[in-house]
């Protein structure tokens, strides 16, 4: 696969998170950081091995922990395994956190299966699994220079009625002003509304990473989750050299990320 595009999808997701978090990685971004550290060493995704890493690091977090993570920790404490401890959450945050898996693994079947297992670690819901696999497939298609709009629309029909409905809403709102779009979709963290809003931004700004990030931040709400998803797709489509922003070195974790993303 094109190395610049693989680098682009991974950096794009990190940049999407950092731009929305004042040049710091949010808890979502830090979880992706743990994942790329693990994937660089293991070259495979083992839900039990990475689950142990995730549990240890999440237990050491001193700031706010999102409900999906706290519910998962509680389920693990009660005796559930990593294949059944995920929360029932269907928030958007998990959908953009699979970039390290796609950056590392080469076989599509193994990649999509690993995306599913990684989703289930913290989000054991059909909505989250379907949305994660959908965005993963769209991202992979971008590596081969497929059309953004056509791919978003065509692949949605294979990932359930919820994904298809969200993508349809994004297309219907494409040419509407952002204020009107937000009145319709809101700015919440759920896949319901959040995925449609991300599709809206991709349709309108996929060819200008900086404007996409600005408009996403302007929308408010869970800009970090949307930024991670959109950044991953755009980075895969245009490559790292096309999306690399002037502010990249301002990210607090820049030196570490530069080492991890060869």
Percentage of the chain exceeding pLDDT 90:
97
pLDDT of residue 1: 73
pLDDT of 24 over the 90 cut: yes
DSSP-derived secondary structure letter, 62: -
Given pLDDT bands bounded at 50, 70 and 90, which one contains residue 224?
A: very high
Mean pLDDT of 208-215: 98
**What would the pLDDT profile of 171-207 be if each residue is shown by its tens digit?**
999 999 999 999 999 998 999 999 999 999 999 999 9
Distance CA 137, CA 124 (A): 19
Distance CA 159, CA 220 (A): 27
DSSP 105-122: ---HHHHHHHHHHHHHHH
Mean pLDDT of 209-230: 97
Which CATH architecture group holds 3-260?
Answer: Orthogonal Bundle (1.10)
pLDDT of 63 over the 90 cut: no
pLDDT of 13 over the 90 cut: yes
Q: Give which of 171, 200, 168, 175 is closest to 187, Cα–Cα.
A: 200
Mean pLDDT of 248-261: 96
Instruction: Please state the domain extents for the chain.
Output: 3-260
pLDDT of 7 over the 80 cut: yes
Q: Give which of 204, 211, 198, 214 is closest to 174, Cα–Cα.
A: 204
pLDDT of 70 over the 90 cut: yes
Residues 6+ apart with CB under 8 A from 109: none
pLDDT of 258 over the 90 cut: yes
Sign of the torsion formed by the C-alpha atoms of 166, 167, 172 and 175: positive
DSSP 144-157: TT--HHHHHHHHHT
Point out which residues pair with 190 in neighbouring strands.
91
pLDDT of residue 155: 97
Distance CA 237, CA 166 (A): 21
Query: How remote is the C-alpha of 53 from its chain's centroid?
Result: 19
Buried b (16+ CB within 10 A) or exposed e, 55-73: beebeeeeeeebebbebbb
DSSP-derived secondary structure letter, 123: B
Q: Give which of 243, 131, 144 is closest to 191, Cα–Cα.
A: 131
> What value does the mean pLDDT of the chain take?
97
DSSP run (H or E) holding 5: helix 3-19
pLDDT of 148 over the 80 cut: yes
Q: What is the largest CA-CA distance in the chain?
A: 49
Percentage of the chain exceeding pLDDT 70:
100
Whether the CB-CB separation of 99 and 232 falls below 8 Å is answered with: yes
Whether the CB-CB separation of 257 and 29 falls below 8 Å is answered with: no
């Amino acid at each position: 696969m094109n190395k610049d595009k693989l680098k682009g999808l991974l950096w794009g997701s990190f940049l999407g998170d950092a731009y929305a978090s004042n040049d710091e990685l949010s808890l979502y971004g830090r979880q992706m950081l743990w994942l790329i550290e693990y994937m660089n060493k293991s070259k495979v995704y083992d839900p039990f091995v990475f689950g142990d890493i995730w549990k240890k690091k999440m237990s050491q977090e001193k700031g706010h922990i999102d409900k999906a993570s706290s519910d998962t920790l509680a389920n693990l404490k009660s005796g559930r395994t990593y294949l059944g401890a995920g929360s029932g959450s269907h928030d958007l945050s998990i959908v953009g956190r699979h970039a390290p898996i796609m950056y590392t693994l080469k076989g599509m079947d193994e990649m999509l299966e690993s995306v599913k297992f990684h989703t289930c670690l913290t989000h054991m819901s059909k909505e989250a699994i379907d949305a994660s696999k959908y965005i993963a497939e769209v991202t992979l298609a971008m590596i081969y220079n497929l059309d953004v709009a056509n791919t978003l629309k065509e692949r949605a029909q294979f990932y359930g009625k919820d994904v298809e409905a969200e993508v349809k809403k994004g297309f219907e709102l494409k040419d509407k002003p952002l204020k009107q779009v937000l009145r319709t979709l809101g700015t919440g963290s759920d896949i319901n509304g959040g995925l449609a809003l991300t599709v809206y931004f991709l349709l309108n700004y996929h060819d200008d990473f900086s404007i996409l990030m600005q408009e996403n931040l302007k929308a408010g709400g869970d800009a970090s989750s949307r930024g991670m998803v959109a950044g991953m797709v755009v980075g895969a489509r245009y490559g790292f050299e096309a999306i690399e922003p002037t502010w990249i070195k301002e990210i607090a974790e820049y030196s570490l990320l530069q080492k991890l993303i060869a």
